[in-house]
């Protein structure tokens, strides 16, 4: 009888195997494979060990036991930041029943293992391999001891991937090396989530049972332990599910010898007895400011949001609580804003206040919406056309630096420029032929501003704007720059930062929030007194600009924005709504004003401008009224330093009055005397400023 022929696949396998054995014998493939596996293992273990050693595990207890506190410019506490953190209590303030319930449910071998369970880890690895083979890039749980859960909640993300599981393993071992079992369990119980935005056993005990954590009886401790795997099954929202889970936990406690088996049915028969006495403190009092602090700590100093919210830092800032509170109150007052659009959409706004000497942000509000944690902050995030607020920066300051004077006669005609026949128009379409610079600025005339930029050269205006730290590109190197026609736009904070140079004798300061950060161990990790001011124009130019910009509020476009009883310099601005058929439709309105003590920039407009959503056609007050109200609340609490210059129009009127009183024959001599007097005055002032600077340098100020 003929034997059956060997199947083809067996023959193919034998051939491959024989080929492998020859190659293995020749090239030692098995040994190389073992070496590569060992090398990869060594690299992985080294990498994970470094992660564990650099995770600042020694600071964990102090981090968890403290909230991150924000301090104002005077060192007074302004509020707290916290997430995954409730009221921290020590081990002796927690009922032993709760510790027994949690260990029985979450990690029965907690007291006998060193941070991990081999059986649990094996189960997790098998599940991970299965998920990979089925196309799921996640792990399905398993292997998490209490120490590992603590490591995950405090140092790692919740992303369900295998690499996170191995990091969790090594960090949990490091936790076990440093802390006792009692300390680990206490930290875990204070950091655990119990639903309804409640973290930690103390707040959970108050939220669900109206008592402190050290008062919890067995049945209530079992409820809280049962919520750890599914916090939504809490006794307030889902009482039946909470009760069923409680009864399972009670049996597990009996199995783990923590309560007698004979008592289980008794405890299971008891009602839940829910009582809510938990109150949430309002520690996040200044949302826009605190959001900006967090953003700066992340972007400038490399901290993570999780670390900021949970690591118990002390963050010292430039916050002025009086200014911040007044801003927030104003933004909640609808009488200070135009009416809503026909569909109910609110007119939005944003404001920022800076200390011009340092650049420290003293107050900021990012909108009129309901506050959302780290939401969109219009004061720092928007990019809108600055309109005529650009004229002092791009035109008049560089013009003074290049030979013009505050009373130079500018051409005020409707002219066309360049090959594209760019033709700027005054708002009222009225032209006087000539106009002195100070009047052109105060009345915000467009034609003379563009003419002046053309005279000094567009590039000089462009370079000046760059010096003021505003975001311009080569696309903006054209005459439209005079009227604020930027390719991207600016934020109120950027504009306020630019105007610090006018308030600070020509020295520009950069806006910033944080002055110092101290970690939970008391170590200072950030120290910032602000950047060194940059001299972007001469002191004399800054004085002349202030003199001209006082006129904006005294008789120009900002008269309705002038705070009663105070001298403020600055500029207003607006931009047209291009996509509206209404000729008067406005997209943006701006007011930026300053004294020697504070710079405030305020913007107003819709988030999205169209035919139904633009300014001008809305009744009610506008940005001028808002700015006036803001300054009237802020200025009484500043040092109230006075400008060292007068309004240009006032100086010229006084000069003309003196000239009119002299005899015709003496007028020429009087004029020369006036000019000499002014030169001596300017020279004397400059010498005084230099003397003061030298004295400050000598004394170390």
List residues with catalytic annotation. Answer: 106, 388
> Which spans in 341-418 are helix H?
378-381, 391, 397-401
Let me know: does 618 contact 338? Beta carbons within 8 Å: yes
Residue with tokens 């001008």: 616
Query: Distances from the Cα of 584 to the Cαs of 39, 348, 441, in angstroms?
Result: 73, 19, 21
Taking the mean position of all CA atoms in its chain, how far away is CA 422?
A: 39
Cα maximum dimension of the chain: 148
Which is nearest to 64 in space by CA: 229, 224, 200, 228? 200
The pair of three-digit structure tokens given for residue 404, joined into one six-digit string:
């013009």
Dihedral sign for Cα 502, 508, 514, 518, please. negative
Sorted by sequence, the CB contacts under 8 Å of residue 436 that are 6+ apart come out as: 406, 407, 408, 409, 410
Q: Compute φ and ψ for 590, nearest 5 degrees.
A: -130, 145
Give the C-alpha separation, 88 to 51, whole Å: 27
- Number of helical (H) and strand (E) elements in the chain, helices listed first: 26, 14
Cα angle: 203, vertex 114, 306; to 5 degrees: 45
Residue with tokens 């260990």: 103
Radius of gyration of the chain (CA): 35
Long-range CB contacts for residues 161-170, cutoff 8 Å, separation at least 24: 161/137, 162/125, 162/128, 165/124, 165/128, 165/139, 166/44, 166/48, 167/48, 167/51, 167/52, 168/144, 169/48, 169/115, 169/116, 169/121, 170/48, 170/49, 170/51, 170/52
Q: Which residues pair with 572 in a beta bridge?
A: 591
Instruction: Return the axis-axis angle of helices 539-554 and 648-661, rounded to nearest 10°.
Output: 90
How many C-beta neighbours within 10 Å does residue 455 have?
16
DSSP-derived secondary structure letter, 58: G
> Which spans in 313-361 are helix H?
321-331
Residue with tokens 């080294």: 46
Let me know: does 434 contact 410? Beta carbons within 8 Å: yes
Task: Report DSSP letters for 609-640, one per residue.
Answer: -BTTB-BSSS-B--HHHHHHHHHHHHGGGS--
Which is nearest to 590 in space by CA: 503, 492, 493, 487? 492
Let me know: does 85 contact 64? Beta carbons within 8 Å: yes
Task: Collapse the DSSP code of 574 into the 3-class scheme (helix H, G, I; strand E, B; otherwise coil) and give the result.
Answer: strand
Torsion of CA 12, 14, 19, 21, to 10 degrees: 160
Task: Collapse the DSSP code of 109 into the 3-class scheme (helix H, G, I; strand E, B; otherwise coil) and give the result.
Answer: coil
Q: Compute φ and ψ for 25, nearest 5 degrees.
A: -65, -40
Give the C-alpha separation, 432 to 466, whole Å: 32
Give the C-alpha separation, 382 to 338, whole Å: 20
């Amino acid at each position: 009888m003929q034997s059956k022929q060997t199947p083809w696949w067996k023959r193919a396998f034998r051939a491959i195997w024989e080929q492998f054995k020859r190659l293995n014998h020749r090239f030692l493939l098995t040994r190389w494979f073992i070496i590569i596996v060992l090398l990869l293992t060594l690299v992985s273990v080294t990498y994970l060990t470094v992660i564990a050693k650099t995770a600042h595990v020694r600071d964990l207890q102090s981090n968890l036991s403290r909230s991150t506190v924000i301090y104002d410019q005077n060192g007074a506490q302004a509020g707290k930041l916290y997430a995954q953190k409730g009221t921290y209590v020590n081990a002796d303030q927690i009922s032993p029943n709760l510790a027994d319930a949690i260990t029985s449910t979450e990690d029965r071998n907690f007291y006998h293992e060193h941070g991990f369970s081999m059986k649990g880890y094996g189960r997790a690895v098998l599940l991970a391999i299965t998920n990979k083979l089925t196309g799921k890039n996640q792990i399905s749980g398993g292997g998490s001891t209490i120490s590992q859960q603590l490591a995950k909640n405090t140092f790692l993300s919740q992303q369900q991937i295998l690499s996170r599981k191995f990091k969790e393993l090594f960090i949990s071992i490091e936790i076990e090396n440093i802390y006792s079992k009692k300390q680990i369990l206490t930290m875990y119980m204070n950091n655990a989530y119990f639903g309804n935005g409640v973290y930690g056993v103390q707040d959970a005990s108050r939220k669900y049972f109206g008592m402190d954590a050290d008062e919890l009886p067995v049945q209530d401790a079992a409820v809280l332990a049962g919520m750890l795997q599914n916090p939504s099954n809490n006794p307030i929202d889902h009482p039946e599910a909470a009760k069923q889970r409680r009864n399972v936990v009670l049996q597990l406690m009996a199995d783990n010898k923590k309560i007698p088996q004979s008592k289980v049915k008794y405890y299971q028969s008891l009602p839940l007895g829910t009582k809510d006495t938990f109150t949430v403190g309002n520690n996040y009092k200044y949302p826009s400011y605190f959001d900006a602090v967090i953003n700066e700590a992340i972007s400038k100093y490399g901290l993570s949001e999780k670390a900021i919210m949970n690591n118990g830092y002390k963050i010292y800032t430039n916050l002025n609580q009086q200014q911040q509170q007044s801003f927030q109150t104003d933004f909640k007052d609808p009488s200070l804003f135009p009416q809503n659009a026909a569909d109910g959409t609110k007119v939005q706004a944003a404001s920022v206040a800076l200390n011009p000497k340092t650049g420290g942000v003293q107050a900021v509000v990012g909108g009129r919406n309901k506050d959302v944690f780290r939401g969109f902050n219009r004061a720092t995030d928007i990019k809108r056309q600055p309109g005529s607020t650009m004229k002092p920066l791009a035109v008049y300051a560089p013009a003074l630096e290049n030979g013009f004077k505050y009373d130079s006669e500018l051409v005020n005609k409707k002219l066309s420029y360049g090959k594209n026949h760019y033709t700027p128009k005054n708002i009222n379409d009225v032209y006087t032929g000539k106009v002195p610079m100070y009047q052109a600025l105060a009345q915000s005339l467009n034609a003379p501003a563009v003419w002046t930029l053309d005279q000094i050269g567009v590039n000089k205006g462009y370079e000046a704007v760059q010096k003021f730290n505003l975001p311009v590109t080569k696309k903006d190197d054209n005459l439209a720059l005079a009227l604020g026609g930027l390719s991207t736009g600016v934020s109120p904070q950027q504009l306020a930062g630019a105007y610090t140079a006018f308030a600070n004798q020509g020295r520009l300061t950069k806006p910033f929030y944080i002055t110092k950060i101290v970690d939970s161990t008391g170590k200072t990790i950030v120290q910032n007194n602000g950047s060194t001011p940059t001299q972007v124009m001469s002191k004399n130019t800054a004085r002349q600009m202030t003199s001209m910009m006082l006129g904006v509020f005294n008789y120009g476009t900002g008269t309705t924005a002038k705070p009663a009883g105070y001298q403020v310099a600055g500029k207003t601005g607006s931009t047209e709504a291009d996509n509206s058929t209404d000729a008067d439709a406005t997209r943006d309105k701006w007011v930026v004003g300053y004294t020697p003590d504070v710079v405030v920039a305020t913007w107003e407009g819709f988030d999205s401008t169209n035919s139904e959503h633009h300014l001008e056609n809305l009744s009610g007050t506008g940005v001028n009224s808002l700015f006036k109200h803001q300054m009237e609340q802020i200025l009484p609490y500043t040092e109230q330093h006075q400008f060292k210059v007068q309004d240009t129009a006032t100086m010229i009127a006084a000069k003309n009055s003196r000239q009119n009183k002299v005899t015709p024959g003496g007028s020429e001599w009087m004029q020369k005397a006036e000019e000499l007097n002014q030169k001596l005055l300017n020279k004397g002032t400059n010498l005084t400023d230099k003397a003061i600077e030298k004295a400050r340098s000598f004394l170390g100020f």
